Amino acid sequence: MHTLSSVLTLPEAVLTPVGAEVYRGLTTSPKSLAPWLFYDETGSRLFEEITRLPEYYLTRTERGILARYADEILECAGYRPVTIIELGAGTAAKTGLLLRVAVDRQGAVDYVPIDVSRSALAAANEHIEADIPGVRVAARVADYTKGIGEIPAPGKRRMVLYIGSSIGNFEPEDAMQVLREVHHRLAPGDLMLLGVDHAKDRRTLLRAYNDAAGVTEAFNKNMLVRMNRELGASFNPRLFQHRAIWNEEHSRMEIYLKSLIAQRVSIPTLDLEVEFAEGESIHTENSYKFTEESIAAIVEPAGFKIAQSWTDEREWFGVYLAARQ
Ligand code: AVI
């Protein structure tokens, strides 16, 4: 705990979100860093690259499900027109599949993409308005984990899209909290469409997070590069190894950066020297993989009821439509 006098002497960088998280994560044992640190400009570009890798089945499998069942999904919304809100929309690459069907059904659709990245939203805005006439985009730059604010939709039903298995990067308790915040902003009968990765054979999962081209490795090590650039740290990414393991008991992929030698790294802007033992790891991400039961165990206590779900032939990925109770 910091006393008032120690707070007054803290280095300024500790007061920034990145500095505070790095300070917290590298001074606690075991060491960890929050996955949101992946997504600076380079990290967001590397993630886009991951979604196109042959081993990373998630994005293309979800896109296949949305392409095949978009009609059915919107049919479930009934006859009332929908306003579509998307959490962590990014460049909204897959959303066009649903927006097109919504425009066909109701003539025009209001689309509210919410994301922390202004540049990703600008790209989304541009391609959606140009490609799908009838979509009215009202983008919001915001961190949806801190709440989504009011979404006016007079006479319409809201449908919140939370796709891309993003919910899998939260601990179940935190995921439930995000959904509770969404619940708070919706009215009974509004809908949420969740895209989640399913638990599957170990080999397929390990390949998806240990790709041959090393893009996931670069994505993981980008955290070190980011700390060097933004905090003046002295990490040598070559002295760390990307590790992705399957934890069957918790049904999650776990991602680490493992120190190959005993070393000391300095972070001058945080007044910090960090010691690593040989083989010691920084835990950078969990990616939970669900079953129908485990997703219901998160969605239902948050005040939603799963109305319908869709999957692919191999049942590798699931799209769940839940109604706000
Ligand atoms: C963004 N999220 C759903 C990705 C996942 O699969 O958990 C992030 C990622 N991490 C490594 N590869 C992709």
Q: Which of 4-13, 93-102, 146-155, 274-283 has the lowest mean pLDDT?
A: 4-13
pLDDT of residue 135: 96
Q: Is residue 50 within 6 Å of ligand 1 at its C-beta?
A: yes
The C-alpha atoms of residue 102 and residue 83 are separated, in whole angstroms, by: 9
pLDDT (tens digit per residue) in 94-147:
999 999 999 999 999 999 999 988 888 998 999 999 999 999 999 999 999 988
pLDDT of residue 60: 97
pLDDT (tens digit per residue) in 197-215:
999 999 999 999 999 999 9
Position with higher pLDDT, 92 vs 302: 302
pLDDT of residue 20: 97
The C-alpha atoms of residue 325 and residue 233 are separated, in whole angstroms, by: 48
Q: Which of 47, 163, 215, 216 to mutate to test the pocket of ligand 1 (most atoms within 8 A of CB)?
A: 47
Alpha carbon of 17 to those of 123, 141, 228: distances in Å?
25, 17, 16
Paired tokens of 273: 């020297």
Asked if residue 8 has pLDDT above 70, the reply is no
User: Measured in angstroms, how far is the CA atom of residue 51 from the centroid of ligand 1?
Assistant: 9
Mean pLDDT of all residues in 69-81: 93
Nearest to 270 by CA among 64, 4, 83, 25: 25
Report pTM.
0.95
Q: Is 23 in contact with 233 (CB distance < 8 Å)?
A: no
pLDDT of residue 2: 55
Asked if residue 70 has pLDDT above 90, the reply is yes
Mean pLDDT of the chain: 95
User: Measured in angstroms, how far is the CA atom of residue 287 from the centroid of ligand 1?
Assistant: 7
pLDDT of residue 80: 87
User: Measured in angstroms, how far is the CA atom of residue 61 from the centroid of ligand 1?
Assistant: 14
Q: Is 156 in contact with 100 (CB distance < 8 Å)?
A: no
pLDDT of residue 221: 98
Q: Is residue 164 within 6 Å of ligand 1 at its C-beta?
A: yes
Mean pLDDT of all residues in 152-162: 94
pLDDT (tens digit per residue) in 169-193:
999 999 999 999 999 999 999 999 9
Asked if residue 6 has pLDDT above 70, the reply is no
Kind of pairing between the strands at 140-141 and 109-115: parallel
pLDDT of residue 4: 57
